[in-house]
Amino acid sequence: MKRTGHALVILGLTILTQLGGLAWGLALFTRWRWRAFPLIYLAIWVVAQLLAPLAGRQPLPCTGAPLRMQSIFYCAALRNFAVPELADLAHDAAARVADKHPGTITLALDGGFPIPGLPMLPHLSHADGRKLDFALFYKNSTGDYLPGKTRAPLGYFAFETLDHPQCPAAFPTLRWDFRWMQAIYPDRPIDDRRTKALGQALLDDPRLGKMLLEPALAERLGLADPKLRFQGCRAARHDDHFHVQL
């Protein structure tokens, strides 16, 4: 691989995982070159788990219940970190939903990286460990709750209110619809009761500063609160996940 190729890989891995670019760079100094990457990445991953608390970050659980990351991808890519206060808020909200609806697994999506400061693309925020996204809950076609399952593979981009246009077409915008992608997802209706229970548990928590959710979805779920906001017409849609921040 040429120098530019390696530079692009380092950039891509840094954007995706924060520390993956470092692992690739270090691997280039070894005898095995980039083939040493998996081992070095694994070592850095383990060190990140151990040292993140020193940087004021706590990993959210990758397995188990009632709270876990939606996909192992988030854990592998080091995107499951949050400040302890936010991690506690997530655990408490998940416990409250599971109290109300036993067996419910609350799924977290992007949180933050282990080291503070670097932005986590494609999010506009999520750089300070004080932001976390949650997946919605889904049912199968006969109306049974699907524990641990979402519509989209990583929980994002399966939009619920595309038929409620509330924003004029604008440019530039991050309000992508990905209409072509919607047909690929399995037909799983939202579990309104569980999704509302999670939204309410998060909103009721005094540590929560703000929640972003598309107004049409909030209305359908019966969620209303001064902390519940619309992200605006140029920011990414929020009818596929909850965004919360301290």
Give the shortest CB-212-to-Zn ion separation in angstroms: 7
Task: Give whichever of 23 and 57 is closer to Zn ion, judged by the CB atom.
Answer: 57
Query: Per CB under 5 A, does 214 bind Zn ion?
Result: no
Contact (CB, 8 A) for 87 and 96: no
In angstroms, the first-to-last Cα distance of the chain is 44
Q: Max Cα separation, the chain?
A: 60
Phi, psi angles (nearest 5°) of residue 185: -70, 150
Query: Per CB under 5 A, does 68 bind Zn ion?
Result: no
SS3 call for 224:
coil
Give the shortest CB-126-to-Zn ion separation in angstroms: 6
Judged by CB under 5 A, which stretch of 38-46, 73-81, 132-140, 227-235 contacts Zn ion?
A: 132-140
Query: Per CB under 5 A, does 243 bind Zn ion?
Result: yes
Query: Per CB under 5 A, does 237 bind Zn ion?
Result: no
User: In the window 143-172, what residues touch Zn ion (CB under 5 A)?
Assistant: none
Q: Is 52 exposed, middle or buried (0-12, 13-18, 19+ CB in 10 A)?
A: buried
Q: Are strands 131-135 and 241-245 parallel, antiparallel or unpaired?
A: antiparallel
Rounded to the nearest 10 degrees, how much is the dihedral formed by the CA atoms of 156, 160, 162, 163? 170
Which two structure tokens, joined as six digits, stand for 166?
A: 């509330």
Task: Give whichever of 105 and 120 is closer to Zn ion, judged by the CB atom.
Answer: 120
Give the shortest CB-241-to-Zn ion separation in angstroms: 7
Other Cβ atoms closer than 10 A to 206: 6
Mask 88-127, x = binds Zn ion (CB under 5 A)?
A: ----------------------------------------
Contacting residue, 133, 191, 214, 239, with Zn ion by CB under 5 A: 133
Task: Give whichever of 23 and 208 is closer to Zn ion, judged by the CB atom.
Answer: 208
Residues lying near Zn ion in the complex (CB under 5 A): 133, 243
